[in-house]
Structure 1
Amino acid sequence: MNKWIIDSHIHLDLYSMEEQAIILQDMEKHHVKALISVSQHLASSKTNLALSQQDKRIKAAFGFHPEQAPLTENELADLLLFMKKHQAEMIAVGEVGLPYYLRKEDAAIPIEPYIELLEQFIQQAAALNKPIILHAVYEDAPIVCALLEKHSITKEHFHWFKGSQETRKRMAANGYFISITPDILYEREIQDIVKQYPLSQMMVETDGPWPFAGPFSKAITHPQMIHRTIAEIAFIKKMEAEEVYDILYKNTEQFYFN
């Protein structure tokens, strides 16, 4: 179907230069209007800024991925200053959140420093009037919801969300957005979330270069995969694919560009 899409969450800076070139060259052919490229840390933010300056279809988000050792005070100060300096070129604060998988590997890692760090990013998003892109799954999601509620953030995007039905209801009631990855084609958990969550608060993403299984096994993660994601969403929602395309595109456009 010749309908336009937006990849609402990709780590473009983590691809090789050759892979980046292929993705950018393919965007028109696969009707990809824009890429929201999220960052891992300050160096990643600088790379994404440079990519966005080279190609206006790349929209850079600046942040600190939580699945790593926390920032020092000086490192945090440097990143927040960078965000403020380049706020006009920053589409959102992200990716930020809590280290669920890191703590699964080592339960001794304290969560408190990450909560304090996340609150700083939430406050920065509020101060700069920017959306925030969140890495918060399972039991971490309610903690993040409470922080967002505390600071009255108005544009929240939980990427690749996974969590309880109770948390989903809370997020939907608060107007939070989630984004769906290509694993919807083979993961029952994601299919159930799509079935229950409002389409009006949904976007689509790749989280590339993260690899996928099933029909995407051994393939480089490419935004064109989103077309199959949308077809599956339409099937689950029992809707016409064309209507689902239009709603998801409008959701993402209004969330990030209005």
Structure 2
Amino acid sequence: MFVDSHCHLDRLKQSPESLVETLNFARTRGVEHFLCVCVSVNDYDSMLETVKDFNDVSVSCGVHPLHQDEACSYDELLEKASRHEVVAIGETGLDYFYSPESKDVQLQSFIDHIKVANETKKPLIIHTRDAREDTINLLKAHKAPHTKGVLHCFTESLEMAEAAMELDFYISISGIVTFNSAQELREVVKAIPLERLLIETDSPWLAPVPHRGKQNQPGYVVEVAEFIAELKGITVAELARITTENFYTLFSLAARKPN
């Protein structure tokens, strides 16, 4: 069985009825759980409303680094992130590729999320792009010893992955690894220990080969798993088993529940 460790079900361009069909398609392919990740605290309640009837969907709460125009106060973040249904904090992090001009705001927001994760004892979901040094340095400076997390949709260097793993973080790989331009990333994935690996779609974006050009969906995490299994020289079943175990180890509040 597979887990889509990072998707945005509320961002899919479809009706509520179509969302049911999308999740059912994923389930028929062996996807047993979905982590629906928040990108704006302002949208948290509407996101929760979208997925609240699905027992196999968990949720996070946070502000994406590219959504700083929708930033919230530390107290508001803490209040919502402390709710019982929230299994993780984020996504948060730093993105200097698309928004270098908001660096200072991103830095403070990231620190706030780390502190909320420390206080709530929930794992962090981190987006990082062109901000390797600051991402690792802020985690080292502000992360509590018990705080864990994941660098999601990872496209950075092996050195950064190793630094994150030393801080008790996991590395999540999306459909980008299947792209023709991802040769360097493939070498990184080969070097990441299986016990630190997660898989995701980041849907509705970044559909893997052979679905490029389509809206991504959680069922396509199977293609991500198949590609990585071949890179690793193991069976798809083994990759599914290990990454699923890793997911429940990290996101321990996302208990396996019947749908």
Range of TM-score over shorter length: 0.7 to 0.9
Structure 1 runs not aligned, ≥5 long: none
Q: Report how far residue 240 of structure 1 moved.
A: 2.5
Instruction: Compute the displacement of 1:70 (Å).
Output: 4.5
Tell me what 1:248 maps to: 243
Q: Counterpart amino acid of 1:250?
A: E
Counterparts in 2 of 1:43 and 1:113: CA distance versus 1, 3 Å: closer
TM-score by length of 2: 0.87
Q: CA RMSD in A?
A: 2.0
What TM-score do the two structures reach when normalised by structure 1?
A: 0.87
Call closer, same or farther: CA 1:49–1:95 in 2, change over 3 Å. same
Name which of 94, 97, 101 aligns with 1:98.
94
2:78 counterpart of 1:80: yes
Quote the Cα distance in structure 2 between the aligned partners of 1:201 and 1:100: 26
Alignment of 1:138-149 (within 5 A): 138=130, 140-149=131-140
Q: Which amino acid aligns with 1:181?
A: S
- Give the corresponding residue for 2:160: 167
Equivalent of residue 185 in structure 2, options 168, 190, 198: 190
Higher helix share: 1
Structure 1 equivalent of residue 172 of structure 2: 179
2:148 to 136, 150, 155: 155
CA 1:128–1:211: 2 relative to 1, 3 Å: same
**Could you say which residue in structure 1 is the equivalent of 2:112?**
120
Q: Give the paired residue count.
A: 247
* Percent identical: 23
Is contact 2:201-2:207 (8 Å) kept?
no
> Are 1:131 and 2:123 counterparts?
yes
What are the Cα deviations for residues 94-116 of structure 1, in whole angstroms up to 9, with x where unaligned? 1111122323xxx5x14122111
1:5 maps to which residue?
Answer: 2
2:257 aligned partner: none
1:178-234 C-alpha deviation (Å, 9 max, x unpaired): 111122222213212211111110100000111436421232212222112112111
Relative contact order (C-alpha < 8 Å, sep 6+): which is higher?
2
Partner of 1:96: helix, strand, or coil?
strand
Looking at structure 1, the residues matched to 74 and 98 of structure 2 have their Cα atoms a distance apart, in angstroms, of 20
Change (3 A) 1:76 1:175: closer
